[in-house]
Amino acid sequence: MAIYSLHHTPVGKSTQAQPYTAAAHIRYITRKNALSAIRQARFPARTPREVADYLRACEDRDRKNARVMDKVMLALPRELNEAQRIALVREFAEHVTKGRAPWLAAFHAKGKDARNPHCHLVIRDRDPATNKRVIGTSEIGSTERLRQQWEDYANKSLREAGRKERIDRRTLEAQGVSREPTIHEGPQSQAMDRRGAQPKSRSRRLRNRPGSRTPHRDVDYRKIDNGRSRPEVNRARQAGVRETERDYWDAIDTDNQRREIANLRGIHNPHRAEPPEKPRSVCPSFSTQKRAREITPRISEPKVVDMAGYRRKRDKDTIRHEAPSLGSGSSQAATKARVPQSQERDGPGTARKSFSQKQAAERQQQQRDRTPPVTPDSTEQKSPTFSQKKTTPNLPRTHGPERGGDQAREHMRQERKNDRERER
């Protein structure tokens, strides 16, 4: 059965994995254990070694981002014999290169490739006479143009050979075929399947095409093959076996894992997370979000009190005054207690002393008790009298008028009277 397969890969000077990849590819496709036939045209060399040296010299003198060559792998129809296949490839290569660009074709159709005949076509898109481009393989749409031309020439050869088989480059869906397409197995996968070995899938890093945002990409084949080899997948598709129970539960686990990863990504990177889905409206007149706002209680934020600022304001508004000292007569006569205006206006008994004021008054009284006054008549220390102990506090109350204003004035009058009696 004739199948369609064409792979076009460029080899660029700046995009190749290692230098002189083009020359290494020539040595690979012309190895003796796989090569069944070789054809070429317009290469200034005869043997594969000379062609490799020529491509190496071209790579040295080309610009740094030049394309050295193009690789095209073709699946040859098994319905044709060897001579018909060689004639088909020669006609196709001459049409593509327009009879000006050099090309080389290596045929593999012996040994393990007897059931899979194919051809490695190498094209150097430069005219040897003018060193100018001929095909334009670097242009957009060049690969699709090659695929269409190969389909036309292969079907033409099958028709001339009297065969009814045809190849089609379109997908099975575009052709109207309902079956699922098979995948490429390769000789290594087939050999492992015959031995009964089970390959292990892993993640691999592959190179991206020129012009991509990143030079490489990571492909996790464990999520693609689900632990099955290529021959197993093809047998299941050809037999028409539907999804097994293991595949069903594996799909559920994969979906749950994807959801968990999305939730974790939203927790750690909320600005990069996907926006949540909007809740659907249950009632036609009220949406779910509006109902949630109405039901959810509004919690007011706690008020923050600036205690340091409150204390500074209290100290600023406080009027400090000193009580009359119990010293000599002249000092007592000259000293006058400063009483707040609110205390004089409202009078005693209109407010209560705070706890801090009481403590300050007690400390001042204890200090006066330890230092009794000294009179000019005698140097002996006398115990303070009751009138001396009963003094007005120094710190006034800031939240209201203080009492004790009349007592302070009475005390001052008594002190002045005592001073006059001593002077007599």
**In this predicted structure, what is the pLDDT of residue 50?**
95
CATH number at residue 96: 3.30.930.30
Return the beta strands (E) in 230-355 as ranges.
Answer: none
Domain boundary among the residues 147, 169, 191 is at 169
Residues 61 and 131 in one domain: yes
**In this predicted structure, what is the pLDDT of residue 235?**
86
Residues 259 and 405 in one domain: no
- Determine the structural domain holding residue 254 and report its residue range: 244-271
**In this predicted structure, what is the pLDDT of residue 199?**
80
DSSP-assigned states of every residue in 38-99: EEEES-S-SSHHHHHHHHHHHHHHS-TT-EEEEEEEEEPPTTS-HHHHHHHHHHHHHHHHTT
How far is it, in rounded angstroms, from Cα 159 to Cα 169? Answer: 17
Instruction: Report pLDDT digits (tens) over 160-183.
Output: 999 999 999 998 888 888 888 888
Residue 358 pLDDT exceeds 80: no
Q: Is residue 417 part of a domain?
A: yes
Residues 47 and 128 in one domain: yes
**In this predicted structure, what is the pLDDT of residue 234?**
87
Residues 266 and 329 in one domain: no
Residues 264 and 359 in one domain: no
Residues 45 and 148 in one domain: yes
Contact between residue 250 and residue 226 where contact means Cβ atoms under 8 Å apart: yes
Top pLDDT among 58 and 243 is at: 58
Which phi and psi (to 5°) does residue 356 adopt? -70, -35
Residue 91 pLDDT exceeds 70: yes
Both tokens of residue 52?
């490799």
How many C-beta atoms lie closer than 10 Å to residue 142's C-beta? 17
DSSP-derived 3-state class of residue 28: helix
Residue 158 pLDDT exceeds 50: yes
Contacts of 22 (CB under 8 A, 6+ apart): 11, 16, 52, 55, 56, 58, 59, 68, 69, 122
Top pLDDT among 322 and 246 is at: 246
**In this predicted structure, what is the pLDDT of residue 348?**
47
Q: Is residue 87 part of a domain?
A: yes
Contact between residue 272 and residue 262 where contact means Cβ atoms under 8 Å apart: no
Residues 253 and 342 in one domain: no
Sign of the torsion angle spanned by Cα atoms 210, 211, 215, 218:
negative
pLDDT confidence band for 126 (50 / 70 / 90): very high
Top pLDDT among 415 and 269 is at: 415
Residues 58 and 150 in one domain: yes
Residues 267 and 377 in one domain: no
Q: Please, what is the average pLDDT of the chain?
A: 76
Number of domains in the chain: 3
Contact between residue 348 and residue 423 where contact means Cβ atoms under 8 Å apart: no
Residues 140 and 10 in one domain: yes
**In this predicted structure, what is the pLDDT of residue 306?**
59
Residue 49 pLDDT exceeds 90: yes
Top pLDDT among 7 and 376 is at: 7
**In this predicted structure, what is the pLDDT of residue 109?**
94
**In this predicted structure, what is the pLDDT of residue 51?**
96
**In this predicted structure, what is the pLDDT of residue 361?**
80
Residues 385 and 259 in one domain: no
Domain boundary among the residues 151, 169, 187 is at 169
Q: Is residue 339 part of a domain?
A: yes
**In this predicted structure, what is the pLDDT of residue 325?**
42
**In this predicted structure, what is the pLDDT of residue 284?**
41
**In this predicted structure, what is the pLDDT of residue 224?**
83
**In this predicted structure, what is the pLDDT of residue 252?**
77
Top pLDDT among 384 and 67 is at: 67
Q: How far is the first Cα of the chain from the last one, in angstroms, to the nearest whole number?
A: 148
Q: Is residue 260 part of a domain?
A: yes
Q: Is residue 289 part of a domain?
A: no
Top pLDDT among 405 and 115 is at: 115
Q: Is residue 185 part of a domain?
A: no
**In this predicted structure, what is the pLDDT of residue 136?**
87
How many C-beta atoms lie closer than 10 Å to residue 337's C-beta? 17
Instruction: Report pLDDT digits (tens) over 317-354.
Output: 654 444 444 444 444 444 444 444 444 444 444 445 55
Cα angle 182, 175, 10 (rounded to 5 degrees) comes to 60
**In this predicted structure, what is the pLDDT of residue 421?**
85
Domain boundary among the residues 169, 184, 212 is at 169
Residues 14 and 159 in one domain: yes
Top pLDDT among 60 and 296 is at: 60
Average of pLDDT values for 9-27?
Answer: 90
Residue 238 pLDDT exceeds 60: yes
**In this predicted structure, what is the pLDDT of residue 288?**
44
Q: Is residue 309 part of a domain?
A: no
Q: Is residue 59 part of a domain?
A: yes
Residue 221 pLDDT exceeds 80: yes
Give the rounded percent of residues in the chain with a pLDDT score beyond 90. Answer: 33
